[in-house]
Structure 1
Amino acid sequence: MAKKKIQSAFFCQSCGTQSPKWLGKCPQCNEWNTFVEEVLTKESDNKGGFKSEKINKPTLVSEIDYTNEKRMVTNDKEFNRVLGGGIVPGSLVLLGGDPGIGKSTLLLQFALSSKSKKILYVSGEESEKQIKMRAERINKNSEHCYILTETSTQNIFQQIEQLQP
């Protein structure tokens, strides 16, 4: 029978470094007072392995029922092109690049451009005030964009369930 092990760890909000205990100064980025505690859960059996409720099996590509998904088209033609014509609802897009290149600004512009869709903008690096300052700098505001500053995926998914963006 599976047991649920509960463990906590501390994470630096500046760089993501993990520590088993709270540290005043991050050894990775040298920032002060940036560690926050998060609860980690791991479901394991007595053998130390992971347990899954559902076992997925491989499916032939030709047997997958495909319906043409309607994409959310953004106001940025190049962004749409990179995403194959827009964002597929329910999908997750990982945007990477060097610091300061404009990833957060690009995504915030998209999030704030929504006129009718409820958008949840999640940041694990910046505060709500920093995001609001960027929104004012790019001269955009929205009644449909919600901001969440969180690093715990468990808490993020909980907020997604509640908000239903």
Structure 2
Amino acid sequence: MQTGQEHTDRNGTGIASEYLTFTLGSEEYGIDILKVQEIRGYDTVTHIANAPEFIKGVINLRGVIVPIVDMRIKFKVGVPTYNEFTVVIIMNVLGKVIGMVVDGVSDVVALSGDQIKQAPGMGATLDTDYITGLGTLNDQMLILVDIEKLMSSEEMQVMEQVN
């Protein structure tokens, strides 16, 4: 399943989709480039009482209140640190602007259909509905994420209350 921006690949052999790649811990992920509004450094956030731990708070981005979600906490990837190298991807998700804290942003890559494999099912023990596939680029594997499915309806309701 492809969700990124589509265009003819360099070889002219098919449709390719573009993904912004980022790191969480030692893993590489990709999200649809069309969902990305901007990439910025981590600013001090205003904390929200009783919010889940992974919702760090909100920032004022040119007059828009933006909830900041730390994916390192959501995915339980080590102990997050916040410094001048911390990156926030500002995205449009289901009509809302959301900031996603990641360890680093790598590149924008185009993947053709034959470079994207279906994610293996993990059964009822692990919810992987948000993984649209596994992309391969050279010897690198990317976990392709549907950000709208990742943010469950319950989590989106919490963020809507933050807005």
Same fold (TM over 0.5): no
Highest CA radius of gyration, 1 or 2? 1
* TM-score interval for Structure 1 and Structure 2 normalised by the shorter chain: under 0.3
Q: Normalising by the residue count of structure 1, what TM-score does the alignment of the two structures yield? A: 0.22
Flag the structure with higher strand content: 2
If each structure's helix is expressed as a fraction of its own residues, which one has the higher value? 1
Between the two structures, name the one with larger relative contact order (CA 8 Å, sep ≥ 6).
2
